[in-house]
Structure 1
Amino acid sequence: MTKSSSNSSDPEVGHHEALHAIRSAPSISMSPELFEKLYLAPPNAVKGDLRKTFGNPTPLLVPLVDDCSTSTADEDHRALAGFLLALMPLSCDLMGWRGASHFGAASIPVYFFEGGVLMVISGIMEWILGNSFPSTVFTSVGFFYLSFGGILHPSFAAYSSYAPADAKSPAEGMATKGFNASLGFLLAMTILSIIYLICALRTNVVFVVIFATLVPALLCLLGAFWAWADDYTGNTLLAQRLCVGAGALLFVTSFAGWYLLLAILLAIVDFPIQIPVGDLSSVIKGKSEKEMRLGK
């Protein structure tokens, strides 16, 4: 039997030959829709070879348009995984499922490492690769998780500092007006999420859904804390309802995130079935693209 016929009957050899051919290709075209799905941002031209240096190659190389070097969307799905592994338990805690409470204090390590560290590292890698929008989103949300976990962790004395002098437990500080009113930093995160929502209109429908549900969820949490600040005992029922509403909205956010993560991973492994994310980069044209069409 000849060597060529032997190789043709070996599927593993054929797989490696096909993979070698893909890796050796000098340029592979990619539609803006696929680019946006993998990178969560419209196509952008990035100078330098950092994508080639730091991009983590996989069997499916994902070259950038405009003759940029090859890279992958690894950081996108890692950050999304961290975001979802921390967010979904929080949403269940806020809704009080199976008796969960205390804003998911049992998940503090998850907020630190899954939601915080993983997202920040992924955001830094996105910055190195030149993906500015995902980098900004991942790092800011990652540090938000770290801050939220720090508020719940006793060693940071975030709530014990407000506890009365005669308090029997440091946790009594959580019921004070000063502590709950000070959590208005959620308002700043809400404003930032609104900005992200506007920018997401250039990415895809799923990303828009994530921020469109995240914004009212943060507003519900803000309202709950400020209701407790006004009258902790009298407004407890209202605050709890706002927390349940926030949890329900974040649950929808989580499902949208899981869908987006699945879409990215299916595209990365070149799965025969692909699911749409609703590309918007071709619907809402960029300023530079409009100027190019006008010949400016």
Structure 2
Amino acid sequence: MTSAEAPMEKDFSNGYGNMSSNNNHLEGNVDQTTALNRIRTAGSISISPELFEKLYLSPENKVAGELRKTFGNPTPIALVGFLLSLTPLSCDLMGWRGAGGNGAADIGVYFFFGGLLMILGSVGEWIIGNTFPFVVFGTFGAFWLSFAATLQPFFNAYGAYVTNPTVAAASMGEPGNAAGLATPAFNASFAFFLLFMGLICLIFLICSLRTNIVFFVIFLTLVCAFGLLAGAYWNLALAYENAANVGAASAASKCVKAAGAFTFVTSMAGWWIFFAIMLASLDFPFAIPVGDLSHIIKGASQKKAAKEHEV
């Protein structure tokens, strides 16, 4: 399929992208044919009906069919779920305006914004053949649901660690005894989940080197944040095991605040890329840069095609 034959995004194929009057936002004056050729899907991954390939979340990859003409772009709604869950949580972790409690006040947000919207976005990406955002959104949708379930007393995630009969009896048989939050075993165990979330973000970080700088920054800061949160919970486990271990408690507090700072940077980068997507989807006459990296690290198929062309 040539670039001229590549299918356009739904919004533009339905008439949003009228280029006849002014194409200045496409890096200078270009004719209508060139403009329309550039407003196309980049195959597998597209974060919006983009005007520029630099805004795609994945390099070009051919997919069959014309589902992008049929369905809207699912990426923005998944980003909304991610941002409206992570941004308040980052403020909670830093303790702004007296916030705290590991973000437990926003448990409903984690279920219905972080979990529901990101899973819906993931399914949408899967339907239109966008593998990378499908995996990313599905992973974080599951993360928010898991995090919310851990905070929800009904699932008894922390109550199960209460072994003292007297303390357990205080909950009168109800699940979710809050005393479990202060047990070394619960904190040490939960830290491993955060550690391996950091590992999968590291894999996403490497993959994002073929997308754009903003997406790279998102995963870079998430790797740091999850590492700090894992360290915070392990230090809390030490502090709860030995009340005299003031150093561990202090280290845990510092790690939590530092993690909040990193996730706040993650959120700001996310808001930036979300704004870029919405501008592009409505064919605004200007665009904000996201730092396209797809042309720096060439794909294996691109290198193979280049060698065949040389021959």
The normalised TM-score by structure 1 is: 0.82
Q: Post-superposition shift, 1:187?
A: 1.4
The alignment status of 1:171 with 2:167, answered yes or no, reads no
CA distance in 2, matches of 1:172, 1:132: 42
Q: 1:26 to 1:119 in 2, by over 3 A?
A: farther
**Partner in structure 1 of residue 142 of structure 2:** 143
**Partner in structure 1 of residue 281 of structure 2:** 268
CA distance in 2, matches of 1:51, 1:84: 24
Q: Post-superposition shift, 1:228?
A: 1.2
Q: Post-superposition shift, 1:110?
A: 0.4
Q: Spell out the pairing of 1:163-242 with structure 2 (5 A cutoff).
A: 163=162, 164-167=164-167, 168=170, 170-183=177-190, 184-232=192-240, 233=243, 234=245, 235-242=248-255
CA deviation digits over 1:197-234, x for unaligned, max 9?
00000000000000010100000000011111122242
**Partner in structure 1 of residue 26 of structure 2:** none
Letter in 2 for 1:247: G
Q: Secondary structure at the match of 2:166?
A: coil
Q: 1:20 to 1:268 in 2, by over 3 A?
A: closer
The answer to whether the 8 A contact 2:59-2:211 is kept is: yes
Q: 1:21 to 1:252 in 2, by over 3 A?
A: closer
The answer to whether the 8 A contact 2:55-2:292 is kept is: no
- % identical equivalent positions: 51
Q: Secondary structure at the match of 2:160?
A: helix
CA distance in 2, matches of 1:37, 1:271: 16
CA deviation digits over 1:146-172, x for unaligned, max 9?
000110111110011112322245111
CA distance in 1, matches of 2:16, 2:206: 41
Q: Secondary structure at the match of 1:229?
A: helix
Q: Post-superposition shift, 1:76?
A: 1.1
Letter in 1 for 2:238: D
CA distance in 1, matches of 2:196, 2:124: 25
The answer to whether the 8 A contact 1:86-1:114 is kept is: yes
* Structure 2: unaligned runs, 5 residues or longer: 1-13, 20-31, 43-49, 172-176
**Partner in structure 2 of residue 19 of structure 1:** 15
Q: Secondary structure at the match of 1:29?
A: helix
Q: Secondary structure at the match of 1:207?
A: helix
Q: 1:254 aligns with which of 267, 270, 289?
A: 267
The alignment status of 1:125 with 2:124, answered yes or no, reads yes
CA deviation digits over 1:221-266, x for unaligned, max 9?
0001111112224222211110000000000000000000011111
**Partner in structure 2 of residue 9 of structure 1:** none
The answer to whether the 8 A contact 1:36-1:203 is kept is: no
CA distance in 1, matches of 2:195, 2:145: 17
**Partner in structure 2 of residue 60 of structure 1:** none
**Partner in structure 1 of residue 60 of structure 2:** 43
CA distance in 2, matches of 1:100, 1:49: 47
Q: Secondary structure at the match of 2:15?
A: helix
Give the length in aligned residue pairs. 260
Q: Post-superposition shift, 1:48?
A: 2.9
* Structure 1: unaligned runs, 5 residues or longer: 1-17, 57-73
CA distance in 1, matches of 2:178, 2:198: 26
Q: Secondary structure at the match of 1:294?
A: helix
Q: 2:301 aligns with which of 288, 292, 295?
A: 288
Q: 1:155 to 1:215 in 2, by over 3 A?
A: same
CA distance in 1, matches of 2:214, 2:69: 29
CA deviation digits over 1:31-86, x for unaligned, max 9?
76845455411121001343344x12xxxxxxxxxxxxxxxxx3111111110000
Letter in 2 for 1:282: H
Letter in 1 for 2:15: L
CA distance in 2, matches of 1:220, 1:117: 27
Q: 1:203 to 1:21 in 2, by over 3 A?
A: closer
Mean alpha-carbon deviation: is it higher for 166-175 or for 266-275? Answer: 166-175
Cα RMSD over matched residues?
2.3
